[in-house]
Amino acid sequence: MKQKPSVRPARRADVAAVAAVARARTESAGWPPAALEEEIERDGSLFFVSEGAAGVLGYLIARIAPDEAQIVDIAAREDRRGAGRALLDALFETARSLRLTRVTLEVGARNVRAQNFYTAAGFRVVGRRPKFYNDGSDAVLMDRNLP
């Protein structure tokens, strides 16, 4: 049976591995290492890494806003082995413990794979931002209420 990846808060020692995951995934925001280090220390930031026997498999960065957590970036290695879902589950658990009521995100309209992933995790489409990204594509706004 495949073991679920573990998830923990990111540490400075994870920056190189997280940056490597970000570079390998064209959908990621492509944070430079210095920005990742700043994000680890930022008040109101939730920065998690998922890991397995092969090391860091993925990461998730979210920011806390009144009553919600907004996913800023999430990416996993191609051989992710459940890393993305484990990261979302950790975020949901943490957000509930902080008494937040929902999780929000925006995803490229052309990124159907990611939209399907989020829908399977309980997110729903709530809006759209036309021509939001540099390439002229729309952003699809999604959220998930937390019980």
Residue 74 clears pLDDT 60, i.e. is over it? yes
Q: For the CA atoms of the chain, what is the radius of gyration?
A: 15
DSSP per-residue letters across 116-141: HHHHHTT-EEEEEETT-STTSPPEEE
**Environment class of 63 (CB within 10 Å of its CB; exposed 0-12, middle 13-18, buried 19+):** middle
Residue 14 clears pLDDT 60, i.e. is over it? yes
Q: What is the mean pLDDT of residues 124-131?
A: 96
Find the largest Cα–Cα distance for the chain. 44
Q: What is the mean pLDDT of residues 78-85?
A: 80
Residue with more model confidence, 2 or 11: 11
Domains contained in the chain, CATH given: 6-145 (3.40.630.30)
Total-model pTM: 0.92
Neighbour order of strands in the sheet with 45-52: 6-9, 45-52, 55-65, 68-76, 102-108, 139-145, 124-129
Give the position of tokens 């589950």. 89
pLDDT for 1 equals: 45
